[in-house]
Copies of this chain bind each other. A is one copy, B any other.
Amino acid sequence: MKLNIACIPGDGIGPEIVTEAKKVLNKIASVYGHEMVYTDILMGGASIDVHGVPLTAEAVETAKAADCVLMGSIGGNTATSPWYKLAPGLRPEAGLLALRKALNLFANLRPAVLYDELADACPLKKEISQAGFDMVIVRELTGGLYFGERYTTEEGGVRKAVDTLTYNENEIRRIAIKGFDIAMKRRKKVTSVDKANVLDSSRLWRKVVEEVAADYSEVTLEHMLVDNCAMQLVKDPAQFDVILTENMFGDILSDEASMVTGSIGMLASASLNDSKFGLYEPSHGSAPDIAGKDIANPIATILSAAMMLRFTFDLDKEADEVERAVKNILEKGYRTADIMSEGCKLVGCKEMGDLLADEI
């Protein structure tokens, strides 16, 4: 099979982790007889430096022409980077938001898994973490407050800013269907998160989610208020299978959940549209402080590549193989600095990529 992959190395540690992901994909290609074709795209700070904008129309076209996008990370350190002196619409993140919209990537899937081998890194105490947990947050990614109309104005000398949170039933239905479809392949439980005791958009959310649920009699649906969910993720993460929620709540809760695993350097993500197209990227950021030092953890990007094999190319066997390799390498005791613990073998970014490629 020929796999047409647009790559966005991006900023900070982005380029090095994407290089390791390609290494692993190339090994998959040679073992399973596929052909990987990579086309690099500039986005974020890397694009600002060259083109003056975080995403060009050509970059969007190149992405559209590919089967999918594999991304490293974008942006820098807001306190020290000159990119953050630019107008908001010209900053690195604006490129990512624009690409999500242009590619209609409405479904963001972020697994938060406690790896047995990394249980010591979990910030929760043993009584809670020993139950283990394995959830996926299904976040709506192209609607809500982050894409609504917004403006800043002055009324009688008083500055005022407005953001708008809008959802229509179609936007809610398609993400709910994704959530339930994913639950069907897992433990068949959906926790839909909203603030229906206050927001109109949340009440519509709840209604449409219930309509969708009617088609999935095997799936257990529960509703949870967002403030309560923020508590439950700390108190009892094992209760969750699929968390289904809107854009902003998903942003906050998925970051909380990833921190609860204690190994954010291990967490993949996929942003999907209605067909097979997807953008795959690690859940973590660009970590500019450790960029170029060969100490970043490439595993989240490599596992994102595994999600890509599974979702965009239906290459389940190959995806399983990548995930198995990660498990084996952890079992053998290899660790990058972020997940290092006593008695384990410390390796750099490149060496971790080599080990994983060799394991396949």
Contacts and interface: CB of A to CB of B under 8 A. Distances in A.
A167 B151 CA distance: 11
Contact of A164 (B128, B162, B258, B259): B162
A151, A162, A166, A228 — most chain B CB neighbours (10 Å): A162
A167 B161 contact: yes
Nearest to A227: B255
A126 interface: yes
Chain A facing B: main interface SS: helix
A151 to B, nearest CB: 6
A238 interface: no
Contact of A204 (B128, B161, B251): B161
Contact of A125 (B125, B203, B235, B253): B125
A29 interface: no
A256 B255 contact: no
A169 B164 contact: no
A149 to B, nearest CB: 9
A231 B258 contact: yes
Given A93-B197, A227-B255, A203 B161 contact: yes
Nearest to A122: B125
A150 B200 contact: yes
Contacts of A208: 159
A252 B145 CA distance: 16
Contact of A200 (B161, B165, B255, B258): B161
Tally of this chain's copies:
2
A201 interface: yes
Interface in A17-63: none
A97 B203 CA distance: 17
Contact of A252 (B150, B160, B205, B226): B226
Contacts of A145: 145, 165, 198-199
Contacts of A234: 123, 234, 256, 259-260
Nearest to A147: B198
Contacts of A165: 145, 162-165
B200 A163 contact: yes
Contacts of A227: 251-252, 254-255
Given A150-B200, A165-B163, A256 B256 contact: yes
A205 B234 CA distance: 28
Contact of A201 (B124, B158, B161, B226): B161
A168 interface: yes
B164 A158 contact: no
A146 interface: yes
Contacts of A158: 168-170
A213 interface: no
A170 B155 CA distance: 12
Nearest to A228: B255
16 contacts: A93-B197, A123-B125, A123-B128, A125-B125, A146-B198, A150-B201, A158-B170, A160-B169, A161-B201, A162-B200, A165-B165, A227-B252, A228-B255, A234-B234, A234-B256, A252-B252
Q: Which 5 A-B pairs have the closest CB atoms?
A: A231-B259, A161-B204, A230-B256, A227-B255, A160-B168
Given A163-B165, A227-B252, 7 more contacts: A123-B128, A158-B170, A159-B169, A161-B166, A161-B168, A232-B259, A249-B252
